[in-house]
Amino acid sequence: MKAYVFPGQGAQYIGMGKDLYETSPVAQELFKKANDILGFDITEIMFNGTDEQLKETKVTQPAIFLHSVILAKVLGDDFKPNMVAGHSLGEFSALVANGVLSFEDGLKLVYQRALAMQDACEAEPSTMAAILGLEDEKVEEICSEIDEVVVAANYNCPGQLVISGSNKGIEIACEKAKEAGAKRALPLPVGGAFHSPLMEPAREKLEKAIKDTPFSEGVCPIYQNVTANAVSNLEEIKNNLIAQLTAPVRWTQTMQQMIADGCDEVIEVGPGKVLQGLFKKVDRKFPTSSASIGE
């Protein structure tokens, strides 16, 4: 069974999507449509901008979404998923690719999500850090003992858990993780505490937008971040998508569940190869590849 997976924030690079634009009329039409919907020339930033421009949350999130979704659309009949999943932001890309959301609605939601998250970040200084080489349970225990907002946010793969919270909370947690034997405790260059209670204002803003957006039956189940299980029920998909902003991304559990459910090949759709690397951490011999035009 073939799974298509979609990356989240952090996979962006200048020039992303340019090859698609130059070789596919379908891609050209969708990129132009995106510029109209967003009200600014995101293609110019993606193809020729600066790293600083691309790093802005309100640009990064729609840029990664566009690269992933347009690549899936360009694959056309070659895109035949038995299951899909996306890491954080990538969940929106997966829902457009498997037909639950339209391209236009998906892009609008991603842009609203990015703006809401940026507002939440500016309202309260906060950050994230990667803890490497400690058991998940130990990291959870450390977070629970700190009298600050600090939580497990991204279960990326066995031995790699990203925590999220107030600047002070993250600082204390990193120290305690090192004392407990973590190989590394690395603060991440992000704008705020994604997937933590500090994103509650963003969750509230996005909730209404998601509830007002039409969702359709998908061509296959999506494994969602919040539960790590296959979901096809549209109401459940909406609720999980809303909860995702303040809940952890259970990617380790998602990969394990997909493999348990019969996934025997993973294709990453979008910039970078981060998700392929994470699957290899679960099973070194697992077959992974990047989607490419002319597959």
Strands 288-290 and 265-268 come out as parallel
Cβ proximity of 148 and 168 under 8 Å: yes
| 267/290 Cα distance (integer angstroms) | 5
- Tokens, residue 287: 């077959």
3-state secondary structure of 290: strand
Among residues 24, 88, 93, 196, which one is catalytic?
A: 88
Indicate if 166 belongs to the active site.
Answer: no
Indicate if 88 belongs to the active site.
Answer: yes
Contacts of 89 (CB under 8 A, 6+ apart): 8, 9, 61, 64, 65, 110, 113
Closest to 109 measured CA to CA, from 233, 237, 10: 237
Among residues 67, 87, 166, 195, which one is catalytic?
A: 195
Residue positions annotated with a catalytic role: 88, 195
